[in-house]
Amino acid sequence: MRLFVESPAVLWWMLGALVAVALHLLARPRADARAWASVRFLEATPLSLRRWATLRDPSLLAARVALVCLAALAFAGPVVVTPSREQAARLQTARAVVSDGGGDMVDEERRGAVANAVFVRPSLRDAVDEAAQWLAQQSAFRREVVIVSSFRRGRVDASAFTAVGAGVGVRLVRVAGDPPLSQRELAVAVRVPVTSSGTGVDGAIRAGAGIHVPNDSEYSVQADTNDGGVPIAEEDEDDPDAPWPVSTIQVVDHTGRWTRQIERWSFASTHTERQLLGSTPMTPLPLSIEARAVTGSVAPEDGQAALHGEAAQGLRLPPSGLLGATVYQWDGRPEALTAALENAATLPVGQWEPDQMTDAELRAFEREPAPEGMPDMSGLSDRRWFWTAVLLLMTVETWLRGRSS
Amino acid sequence: MLEVPRLPHDLLWVARHLSSTLRMGWHRSTRIGGTAEFSHLRAYRPGDDLTHIDWKTSARTDRLLTKVFRMAAAGDALLVLDVSRSMGWGHKLPLLRTTAAVLAALVIEQGDAAGWLVVDSDLRRRLFPVRGGAFYLSGLVAGLSRLDATGTTDTAALLAAAGHTLVRRSSVLILSDFYDDDRMLPVMRHLAGQGHEIVAVHVLTPEEQTLPAAGAAEYVDEETGQRVSLEHGRARAAVTQRVATWRSGLERAIRCSGGDYVHVSTVPTLTRDLELWLRKREARG
């Protein structure tokens, strides 16, 4: 068991005990008054100086000194740290519940799925940043961020937790069910297995080798299957530079419960894309690498451009015949694009990419609080006990003073 | 050892006990007052006091003759009590009450009358008339137990009041600490000249005669409020010497004024003090 104080500077007030000692020595009466029958035969004598050097009423002086010291200690906010108290303080947790206030969570909150949101921001990253700032100001020993969201793909990634301290725990709570209709159709990614039949490009598409396509090379790929609604078109042999044909395809979402006809599916329309997708007559099916932004200010076209623009420089594609990847809420960072592609690469070929992050992905972000140092127990101040002791000492001091006088 | 009586019946019991003790131990000398004068001679009877035998006449007449005395003055005694604030200090007031009660018991139980007189600070007299009888003694003692210490010492006024009260020659026993003795002595001489027997009972505790060992202290006079600061170690010897000198001088002056002097200091030693006084009184004849 030990003792610490909330305001150590106040302990300097204990020097007031010196004042108490000085007053005790200086303020004592010249001599005890004693009633006497008659002073007729008494003659005044000079009082001995030794009297001043003799400590009188040591118990009273001790009580006064203890009174001053105890009062200073009480003002300083003393906390008696017992093992049980320390253990309890170590288990004390400040919890910031972050409710995703953007995207579909707006609807979720509107319909009561989210009961209490402390930090509700359109951007989950902003909310986490604010939560981290708030947690930094808290005195609890354990800190953790609880993020409540539907965790649609793209809503959260590792970069969202850069502001969260190392010892702060992260807990992700998934809420909400199916995405809204308008979101679901955009969450569909189309992919087909591809094989390479390219010419003039060394290394074309190989399983496990990834795709690296120089801008000015000619390249072609061939799909093994036609599952997944990928349009099959033939190139106009007479006019190689003519736009790629547009066909109507059927898209089925990953739940299989919803289908929709996309009337006009436009494959690559630029020269660069044509190079990328293959332009030889022998290419029955072009490779399509698309990047689409589902929500936010980024249009699907922007994502497509980004894939072939500066953001794609040095981009390493996953080692599979990836044809499509979806970037949700893409904010222009290549990392987001890479993450989307890597995620898409993990999916079985020919399957729909889930539009929500998997539990395994979420677990990668979660961590337990790992506090360091001593817990803050300033809230456990024992001031009241010390003030009670001060009052008791005042009573003792009064009693001693009365007895000495 | 007797303790200071606190209740009236305690005081009466103590007075009777001490009185009987004194009379049993020294019967003849306990007679207070009643100054004897020679009346005539008669033949000796067994049991007569040998000191009363007139040896010269017996030698001339060749037979034992005993002197017969008659009381020249009444055996009545008036206890004049100083109940000033200085007498209220310490245990002086209980000592005063006890001493007065014992003396009253001595007088009344020898068949004479006794009473007491107090003069308060406004010079108003409070008189318990001089009368006799055992029943009267209990009332007298009860009155003593109700006395409180107030006002200032004025033994001269006390004796003067006693002179005005007494209509015949009596014994006047004044009980006081006599801190104002200088004014008292002329009045005492006057009373003695009127034929009263004056006995000054000096009530002075041992603490007043020797300073208690209390280091430095500021002594405050009970009556005047005067303050004197002194240190015990330096002043005690001088104070003790000063009080002893004053006491012996006071005794001398009282005797010269025609009075008798007895000093009582504590209740437990009261019997001894009074017995010594009675022995000396007897020895003086």
Q: ipTM for the complex?
A: 0.78
- In this complex, do A41 and B228 lie within 8 Å of one another by their Cβ atoms? no
**Angstroms from B236 CA to nearest CA on chain A:** 9
Residues of A in contact with B211 (CB under 8 A): 42
B182 and B96 inside one domain: yes
Average pLDDT over residues A195-209: 30
What is the per-residue pLDDT for B241?
A: 92
**Angstroms from B267 CA to nearest CA on chain A:** 18
Residue B50 sits at the chain A interface (C-beta within 8 Å):
no
Residue B149 sits at the chain A interface (C-beta within 8 Å):
no
Taking CA–CA distances from A45, the nearest residue in chain B reads B230
B271 and B158 inside one domain: yes
Average pLDDT over residues B18-24: 71
Average pLDDT over residues A102-108: 63
Q: How many of the other CB atoms lie within 10 Å of CB of A248?
A: 11
B163's CB contacts (< 8 A; 6+ apart) are B187, B190, B191, B194, B196
- pLDDT tens per residue, range A60-86: 889 889 999 999 988 888 888 888 888
**Weakest-pLDDT range from A241-250, A257-266, A294-303:** A257-266
In the structure encoding, which two tokens stand for residue B52, read together? Answer: 């009363």
What is the per-residue pLDDT for B106?
A: 84
B93 and B165 inside one domain: yes
- In this complex, do A35 and B177 lie within 8 Å of one another by their Cβ atoms? no
Strand-pairing partners, residue A195, are: A222
B195 and B237 inside one domain: yes
Domain region containing B39:
31-70
- In this complex, do B239 and A44 lie within 8 Å of one another by their Cβ atoms? no
- Asked if residue B39 is part of any domain, the answer here is yes
- Asked if residue B3 is part of any domain, the answer here is no
Q: How many of the other CB atoms lie within 10 Å of CB of A192?
A: 23
Average pLDDT over residues B175-202: 88
Residue B223 sits at the chain A interface (C-beta within 8 Å):
yes
In the structure encoding, which two tokens stand for residue A269, read together? Answer: 């329309």
How much of chain B, in percent, has pLDDT values that exceed 90? 12
B45 and B177 inside one domain: no
**Weakest-pLDDT range from A12-26, A102-116, A233-247, A288-302:** A288-302
What is the per-residue pLDDT for B183?
A: 84
- In this complex, do B217 and A38 lie within 8 Å of one another by their Cβ atoms? no
| Confidence (pTM) | 0.45
Residues of B in contact with A31 (CB under 8 A): 216-218, 229
Which has more pLDDT, A376 or A244? A376
Contact A77, A383 (CB under 8 A): yes
Across A17-162, the runs of DSSP E, i.e. the strands, are: 32-36, 78-81, 93-100, 119-121, 142-149
What is the spatial distance between Cα A97 and Cα A100, in angstroms, rounded to a whole number? 10
Taking CA–CA distances from A39, the nearest residue in chain B reads B221
Confidence band, pLDDT 50/70/90 cuts, at residue B212? confident
Question: Over 50: is that where the pLDDT of A270 sits?
Answer: no
- In this complex, do B226 and A41 lie within 8 Å of one another by their Cβ atoms? no
B155 and B214 inside one domain: yes
**Angstroms from B131 CA to nearest CA on chain A:** 33
SS3 B248: helix
A161-186 in b/e burial notation, b at 16+ Cβ within 10 A?
bebbeebbbbbbeebbeebeeebbeb
What is the spatial distance between Cα A252 and Cα A249, in angstroms, rounded to a whole number? 10
- In this complex, do B229 and A41 lie within 8 Å of one another by their Cβ atoms? no
In the structure encoding, which two tokens stand for residue A275, read together? Answer: 């190079």
B50 and B129 inside one domain: no
B61 and B98 inside one domain: no
A183's CB contacts (< 8 A; 6+ apart) are A103, A104, A152, A294, A295, A355
Nearest by CB to residue A37, choosing from B215, B217, B222, is B222
- pLDDT tens per residue, range A340-383: 666 655 655 444 455 677 788 888 888 888 877 777 676 677 88
Question: Over 70: is that where the pLDDT of B70 sits?
Answer: no
Residues of A in contact with B247 (CB under 8 A): none
What is the per-residue pLDDT for B137?
A: 87
- Asked if residue B1 is part of any domain, the answer here is no
B56 and B156 inside one domain: no
Nearest by CB to residue B221, choosing from A29, A36, A45, is A36
Across chain B, the runs of DSSP E, i.e. the strands, are: 36-43, 65-71, 77-81, 114-119, 125-131, 171-176, 197-203, 216-221, 227-231, 259-264
In the structure encoding, which two tokens stand for residue A344, read together? Answer: 């898409």
B202 and B61 inside one domain: no
Residue A38 sits at the chain B interface (C-beta within 8 Å):
yes
- Asked if residue B66 is part of any domain, the answer here is yes
Average pLDDT over residues A156-182: 74
Nearest by CB to residue B89, choosing from A31, A37, A42, is A37
What is the per-residue pLDDT for B200?
A: 92
Residue B247 sits at the chain A interface (C-beta within 8 Å):
no
- Asked if residue B148 is part of any domain, the answer here is yes
B45 and B116 inside one domain: no
Residue B214 sits at the chain A interface (C-beta within 8 Å):
yes
What is the per-residue pLDDT for B174?
A: 92
Nearest by CB to residue B221, choosing from A29, A39, A47, is A39
Contact B221, B84 (CB under 8 A): no
Confidence band, pLDDT 50/70/90 cuts, at residue A249? very low
C-alpha dist (Å) from residue A195 to A190, A231, A234, A345, B148:
16, 16, 17, 15, 131
Contact B80, B174 (CB under 8 A): yes
- pLDDT tens per residue, range B133-158: 888 888 888 888 888 888 888 888 88
What is the per-residue pLDDT for B8?
A: 59
In the structure encoding, which two tokens stand for residue A32, read together? Answer: 């005890």
Average pLDDT over residues A40-57: 70
B64 and B198 inside one domain: no
- In this complex, do B219 and A36 lie within 8 Å of one another by their Cβ atoms? yes
What is the spatial distance between Cα A76 and Cα A63, in angstroms, rounded to a whole number? 20
Mean of all residue pLDDT scores within chain A: 61
- In this complex, do A42 and B228 lie within 8 Å of one another by their Cβ atoms? yes
- Asked if residue B2 is part of any domain, the answer here is no
Best of B177, B230, B265 to mutate (most A CBs within 10 Å, chain A)? B230
Last residue of a domain, one of B46, B70, B94: B70
What is the per-residue pLDDT for B245?
A: 93
- Asked if residue B218 is part of any domain, the answer here is yes
Q: How many domains does chain B have?
A: 2
**Weakest-pLDDT range from A136-150, A245-259, B177-191, B246-260:** A245-259
The enclosing domain of B245 has a CATH number of 3.40.50.410
Taking CA–CA distances from B232, the nearest residue in chain A reads A45
Which has more pLDDT, A351 or B166? B166
Residues of A in contact with B234 (CB under 8 A): 45-46, 48
